[in-house]
């Protein structure tokens, strides 16, 4: 399946994913069954060692993302990366390891490159 996207024209990867998930039942199904392949159909390159978990929110469910445990138990109480605790007011908290932050930025770049 190759999803024909309109020119991205400044549309972000995340916005395009939402638009397609809401308007294209085939893409939504692929996103649920094989998110890596769904991302490939819109020109997003994903490193093979990165796992993808895409969930469509439910209007009656509150989601919490818990950061992974420290690699060593003795480091569990130590903040490894202060940016993991960053927030803007009470609206946003971006919690992921540095390597995945870089991967997300790379995925966004591949989306923009493949959807000029």
Residue 2's pLDDT is 45
Q: What is the DSSP letter of 93?
A: B
pTM: 0.68
pLDDT tens string 6-62? 545 568 899 999 999 999 999 999 999 999 999 999 999 999 999 999 988 888 998
- Backbone φ and ψ for 98, nearest 5 degrees, come out as -55, -40
Give the residue with greater pLDDT, 83 vs 115: 115
Choice between 34 and 100, residue whose per-residue pLDDT is larger: 34
Report yes or no: 81 and 98 within 8 Å, Cβ to Cβ: yes
């Amino acid at each position: 399946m190759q999803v024909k996207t309109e020119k991205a024209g400044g549309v972000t990867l995340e916005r395009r994913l939402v638009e397609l998930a809401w308007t294209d039942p085939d893409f939504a199904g692929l996103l649920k069954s094989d998110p890596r392949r769904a991302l490939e159909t819109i020109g997003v390159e994903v490193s093979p060692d990165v796992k993808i978990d895409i969930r469509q929110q439910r209007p009656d469910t509150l989601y919490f993302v818990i950061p992974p445990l420290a690699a060593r138990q003795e480091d569990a109480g130590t903040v490894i990366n202060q940016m993991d605790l960053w927030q803007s007011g009470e609206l946003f908290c971006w919690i992921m390891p540095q390597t995945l932050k870089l991967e997300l930025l790379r995925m966004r770049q591949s989306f923009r490159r493949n959807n000029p």
